[in-house]
């Protein structure tokens, strides 16, 4: 992974304190558009980032949290001012790694439904028999199984994913990364436009275990700035057992659990999520 790789970004708002959003696995910066527009209307400059192998950013030959954090750090350095960094799931781990390595780049940190922990490859994190095991490997397998050469309509891909991805919300989220190049009459076999995934599915499939990890931060590293942790009340990604490590690395952490929400908190409870972030920003920017 090249240190000078350019990440794709989109910025909403022309001035004000900067807030940077980093998405999770299978996502892209556009996932944060609704929240970003509201914060921009409040007087913020909001930058939405596509991580490598996602969205419009380049593909790489491997996944690595520290290298992704360094790429985002290079982007933030170019802004010339501290930012509030918001990261969900995989993006939350990237954000934590960045905060522990480059604390001077941040005004504050918001981590969404992930902890600085190693997650199991199979099974759940609790003894609850009803806890849903991580479905991400099945999601990748289902996306790879879609015959893109035979695809004529997005609805066909939606139907093909339905068995492995029963949630309409999650399926719609994954399908945002299915795009068609060119127009009818050119670009694809038989004169049809060609479908493709913006996700680097082979690398994501091969290195999925890497995303379960949380690399050890530098010795003695602590981020002592303000940290907001937002977790879904129905999610097992942030447990009480995670608190000691969270507080060790991020001593000024405040945890908020959002009712009636799971892992995709910002999609399942958007109004509560946005208001929670807004109040955090008001507090951070008064300093």
Q: Assess whether 194 and 167 both reside in one domain.
A: yes
Q: What is the pLDDT of residue 188?
A: 46
Q: Assess whether 105 and 62 both reside in one domain.
A: yes
Q: Assess whether 198 and 224 both reside in one domain.
A: no
What is the bridge-based pairing of β-strands 9-12 and 178-181? unpaired
Residue 2: burial class (beta carbons within 10 Å; 0-12, 13-18, 19+): exposed
SS3 287: coil
Q: What is the pLDDT of residue 123?
A: 56
Q: Which pTM was predicted?
A: 0.92
**Cα angle for residues 10, 87, 25 (degrees, 5° grid):** 85
Q: What is the pLDDT of residue 73?
A: 98
In a domain, 23, yes or no: yes
Written as one string, the DSSP assignment of 113-138 is: S--SSPPPSSS-SSS-TTPPPP-HHH
CATH number of the domain encompassing residue 58 = 3.40.50.1820
Q: Assess whether 162 and 278 both reside in one domain.
A: no
In a domain, 161, yes or no: yes
Which alpha helices (DSSP H) does 80-206 contain, by range?
90-101, 136-145, 154-161, 168-175, 201-206
CB 109 within 8 A of CB 227: yes
Distance CA 85, CA 83 (A): 6
The two three-digit tokens of residue 241, written as one number: 């057992």
CB 112 within 8 A of CB 23: no
Q: What is the pLDDT of residue 97?
A: 98
- Averaged pLDDT in 10-residue chunks for the chain of 287 residues: 79 96 97 96 97 97 96 97 97 98 98 93 57 77 96 95 93 95 50 87 94 94 98 93 95 96 93 97 90
Domain limit, last residue, from 178, 209, 240: 209
Q: Assess whether 174 and 33 both reside in one domain.
A: no
Number of structural domains the chain divides into? 2
In a domain, 31, yes or no: yes
Task: For residue 55, give the DSSP letter.
Answer: T
Q: How far apart are the first and last CA of the chain?
A: 37
Q: What is the pLDDT of residue 186?
A: 40
Q: Assess whether 26 and 100 both reside in one domain.
A: yes
Q: Assess whether 62 and 190 both reside in one domain.
A: no
Domain residue limits at 165: 136-209
Q: Assess whether 200 and 58 both reside in one domain.
A: no
Residues in the chain: 287
In a domain, 1, yes or no: no
In a domain, 2, yes or no: no
């Amino acid at each position: 992974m090249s240190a000078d790789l350019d990440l794709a970004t989109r910025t909403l708002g022309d001035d004000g304190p900067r807030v940077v959003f980093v998405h999770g696995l299978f996502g892209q910066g556009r996932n944060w558009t609704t929240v970003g527009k509201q914060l921009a209307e409040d007087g913020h400059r909001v930058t939405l980032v596509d991580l490598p192998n996602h969205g419009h950013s380049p593909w790489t030959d491997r996944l690595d949290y520290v290298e992704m954090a360094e790429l985002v750090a290079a982007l933030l350095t170019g802004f010339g001012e501290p930012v509030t960094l918001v990261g969900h799931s995989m993006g939350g781990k990237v954000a934590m790694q960045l905060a522990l390595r480059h604390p001077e780049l941040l005004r504050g940190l918001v981590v969404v439904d992930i902890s600085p922990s190693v997650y199991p490859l199979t099974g759940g994190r609790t003894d609850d028999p009803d806890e849903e095991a991580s479905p991400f490997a099945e999601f990748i397998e289902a996306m790879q199984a879609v015959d893109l050469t035979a695809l004529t309509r997005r609805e066909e891909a939606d139907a093909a994913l339905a068995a492995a991805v029963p949630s309409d919300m999650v399926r719609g989220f994954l399908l945002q990364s299915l795009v068609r190049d060119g127009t009818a009459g050119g670009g694809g076999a038989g004169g049809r436009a060609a479908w493709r995934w913006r996700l680097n599915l082979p690398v994501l499939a091969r290195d999925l275990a890497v995303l379960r990890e949380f690399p050890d931060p530098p010795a003695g590293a602590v981020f002592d700035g303000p940290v907001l942790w937002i977790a879904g009340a129905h999610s097992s990604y942030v447990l009480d057992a995670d608190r000691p490590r969270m507080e060790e690395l991020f001593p000024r952490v405040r945890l908020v659990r959002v009712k009636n929400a799971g892992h995709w908190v910002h999609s399942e409870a958007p109004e509560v999520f946005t208001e929670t972030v807004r109040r955090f920003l008001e507090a951070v920017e008064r300093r």
